[in-house]
Amino acid sequence: MIRSLLLFTLASVACLVPNSLFSSEKIKVLIADGPQKAHKYLDTTPVLMQILDKIPRFEVDHSRSSKESCKDGSYMPDFSKYDVVVMNEGFGAADWPKATQKAFEEFMASGGGMVSIHAANNCWPNWKEYNKMTGIGGWGGRNEKSGPYLYINSEGKVFRDTSKGKGGAHGPQHEFELIVREKDHPIMKGLPPTFNHGPDELYDRLRGPAENVTILATAFSSKEKRGTGRHEPALMTISYSKGRVFHTILGHHVKQTKEGSFVTTFLRGTEWAATGVVTIPVHKDFPNQKFE
Ligand code: ZN
């Protein structure tokens, strides 16, 4: 009797706790970056790696594209070795070779994960599948042909705006508040309903295919800061066939990537993109914890 009760209890607990808590299985992460304009990837990539290295379950590799290796086709990371690719590419990045694009599309479609950091939504406006993965992006000639603008309107509803205009803008860096829109999403569970971030660039007027996007958090882009006067998507997930994407507009430079708001959402978003489950706790001092 006692034995069956015990077994029953254990079974019930096991149902409530994600499998990954019982698993020491490594999550294999690849950070991809390369020469770009406007962002110092040589400085931010090592910080992103240090942040990920704080979680023993993450095993982190790095791959850097170049103009030459993209041109001659030799840039070809083996995506199949990884659970998630953290994209720290940016505006002006060289186009990946066609075969590499195809391999990445296949990796994602078959259930891979991607994390799009800040300017990673700026690159490759003409790579159709990549734009589906990021959902929305900016600059690089993006306009109404790229897809709608995406906002949350004053009633709290997702709003797709197909009006003409360029995609991507931001005012001066400033501190802004994030408003959680999906409090029960695994990445957001346990975070306060609002929290501050910055000074950072608050991207606005992003546009793209905007398919299968879940807006996890928004930031109000005020007109005083040359913004839109709308609630702009700041943290998102996108499903791409069987693949999962976590998209954060935060993290312009080293200082911003060391903020508690960035660190916690980045770590949890990376775990989610890799596994669909989040076990990394929210820091007790969030978002004011120090990253050293
Ligand atoms: Zn930036």
CA distance between the termini of the chain: 52
Whether the ω angle into residue 35 lies within 30 degrees of 0, i.e. cis, is no
Question: Could you tell me the distance, in angstroms and rounded to a whole number, from the CA of residue 281 to the centre of ligand 1?
Answer: 28
With beta carbons less than 8 A apart as the criterion, state whether 261 and 167 touch.
no
By the 10 Å C-beta count (0-12 exposed, 13-18 middle, 19+ buried), 191 is classed as buried
Q: What is the DSSP letter of 39?
A: S
CATH of 29-71+81-275, one of 3.40.50.880, 1.10.1040.10, 1.20.1250.20, 3.40.50.10950: 3.40.50.880
d(CA 30, CA 81): 9
pLDDT for position 174? 98
Question: Could you tell me the distance, in angstroms and rounded to a whole number, from the CA of residue 147 to the centre of ligand 1?
Answer: 22
In this predicted model, what pLDDT tens digit does every residue of 166-202 receive, in sequence order? Answer: 999 999 999 999 999 999 999 999 999 999 999 999 9
pLDDT for position 291? 86
Question: Could you tell me the distance, in angstroms and rounded to a whole number, from the CA of residue 124 to the centre of ligand 1?
Answer: 16
In this predicted model, what pLDDT tens digit does every residue of 227-272 receive, in sequence order? Answer: 999 999 999 999 999 999 999 999 999 999 999 999 999 999 999 9
d(CA 141, CA 158): 24
Q: Which long-range contacts (CB under 8 A, 24 or more apart) does 12-21 make?
A: 18/277, 18/278, 18/279, 19/277, 20/275, 20/277, 20/279, 21/279
pLDDT for position 22? 46
pLDDT for position 20? 46
Q: Which residues of the chain fall short of a pLDDT of 50?
A: 10-22
Question: Could you tell me the distance, in angstroms and rounded to a whole number, from the CA of residue 135 to the centre of ligand 1?
Answer: 18
pLDDT for position 6? 52
Question: Could you tell me the distance, in angstroms and rounded to a whole number, from the CA of residue 203 to the centre of ligand 1?
Answer: 8
Question: Could you tell me the distance, in angstroms and rounded to a whole number, from the CA of residue 224 to the centre of ligand 1?
Answer: 19
Question: Could you tell me the distance, in angstroms and rounded to a whole number, from the CA of residue 155 to the centre of ligand 1?
Answer: 29
AA identity, residue 262: F
pLDDT for position 101? 98
Question: Could you tell me the distance, in angstroms and rounded to a whole number, from the CA of residue 13 to the centre of ligand 1?
Answer: 44
pLDDT for position 23? 54
Locate the domains of the chain by residue range: 29-71+81-275
Question: Could you tell me the distance, in angstroms and rounded to a whole number, from the CA of residue 29 to the centre of ligand 1?
Answer: 23
pLDDT for position 185? 98
pLDDT for position 292? 75
Question: Could you tell me the distance, in angstroms and rounded to a whole number, from the CA of residue 53 to the centre of ligand 1?
Answer: 24
